[in-house]
Structure 1
Amino acid sequence: MESEIQSYINHFEQTHQELQSILNSLPESALHWAPLEDDANSPAILVTHMLGAERFRIHQIVAGYDIHRDRESEFQTSTATLDDLRSTLEQVNADTKKMLLSITTADLDKIRPAARDYEQAESGRWHVLHTIEHFGIHLGHLSLTIQLHASKHQ
């Protein structure tokens, strides 16, 4: 039976492969397109935010490596290319695996301070699971945004 931490590693690798597949099929014209100009995010912003959030929760909160995150800048991404996003994804995938391999079950059990004003102190495990949930939600947003782009630009 695989360990809990190994199952998290496997999950992140699988979802990163799914995101890589989406990026590989994404037309360049869709990268910075948003369905609503001021009320929705482009694929570039979604991917940048997904990976930023993963780095923040897994690398910084759980593994203790300060990433110096600028969350607001994730939502201002306007010049990233598909190659930039693929490269970032590849690096985050490798780093997440490294970070998860560096922790123990005791690290997952350890209570961490609240990361946001609306959150409570939670275990490292909660942060890993929250990251998985967050990533999945935004994969859905990304897929819908790409579908909307395709329907408007056929």
Structure 2
Amino acid sequence: MLTTDGYLYLVDRALDGMAATLTGLGDELVNTRPDLPGANSPYAIVTHCLGVMTFWGGQVVAGRAVERDREAEFEATGPVEPLVERLRAVRKQFGADVEAAVPADPPRGVVPPKYRGTPIGETQGVALQHVYEELAQHRGHLDVTRDLLLARRVEDGGAAPSLQ
């Protein structure tokens, strides 16, 4: 069975990777969208992930009222450093929410209609697993977006930043 420490270790790996990608891209590229219909910028992808963590950890699992503008997450822009700082703050609160969770219990807060009657909406544990599902999915999404942006920059005659 997955432990709280094990779960948060996996969450941290996803978030640390996202922070490294954002930092590697820098302020200009982090707000750029790939030339694909409906594509999101790296900044928007990470902002969305923080919204997922805040909503599912805070409202669904912990039972706090959370006001979320999901659509605005995909329009968000800004510099890298404040977003990375926000990532750290959201992670801290999310960790407290995970620590207080009772995985087998039903959610303490309102579950979105789309998830009512599904395993995601039945227990705190599966709701938290849904958060990790979203983080893992969007971590890969972020890396593909980064690769597309760097390839476009090189095609345009610019140098790709060093991503260590």
* TM-score, scaled to structure 1: 0.86
Instruction: Identify the residue that residue 39 of structure 2 maps to in structure 1.
Output: 40
Counterpart Cα distance in 1 of 2:68 and 2:60: 11
User: Residue by residue, what CA displacement relative to the aligned partner does 1:3-58 show, whole Å, maximum 9, x if unpaired?
Assistant: 72222222222222222221221132211111136511110110000111011111
Matched, 1:142 2:152: no
Counterpart Cα distance in 2 of 1:13 and 1:118: 25
Aligned amino acid, residue 43 of structure 1? P
Instruction: Give how far 1:114 is off.
Output: 3.6
Q: SS state of the match for residue 117, structure 1?
A: helix
Q: SS state of the match for residue 10, structure 1?
A: helix
Instruction: Give how far 1:109 is off.
Output: 1.1
Residue 45 and residue 117 in structure 1: after superposition, are their counterparts in 2 closer, same or farther (change >3 A)?
Answer: same
Matched, 1:117 2:114: yes
Matched, 1:152 2:152: yes
How many residues are paired up?
Answer: 149
Matched, 1:133 2:130: no
Is this contact kept in 1: 2:22–2:30, CA < 8 A?
no
Instruction: Give how far 1:59 is off.
Output: 1.9
Instruction: Identify the residue that residue 23 of structure 2 maps to in structure 1.
Output: 24
Q: 1:100 aligns with which of 98, 101, 105?
A: 98
Q: SS state of the match for residue 27, structure 1?
A: helix
Counterpart Cα distance in 2 of 1:66 and 1:72: 18
Aligned amino acid, residue 12 of structure 2? E
Structure 1 unaligned blocks of 5 or more: none
Give the 5 Å matches for 1:57-72: 57-72=56-71
Counterpart Cα distance in 1 of 2:143 and 2:50: 16
Structure 2 unaligned blocks of 5 or more: 155-164
- Percent identical among aligned pairs is 25
Matched, 1:6 2:5: yes
Cα RMSD (Å) of the superposition?
2.0
Counterpart Cα distance in 1 of 2:43 and 2:64: 25
> Which deviates further from its counterpart, 18-27 or 126-135?
18-27
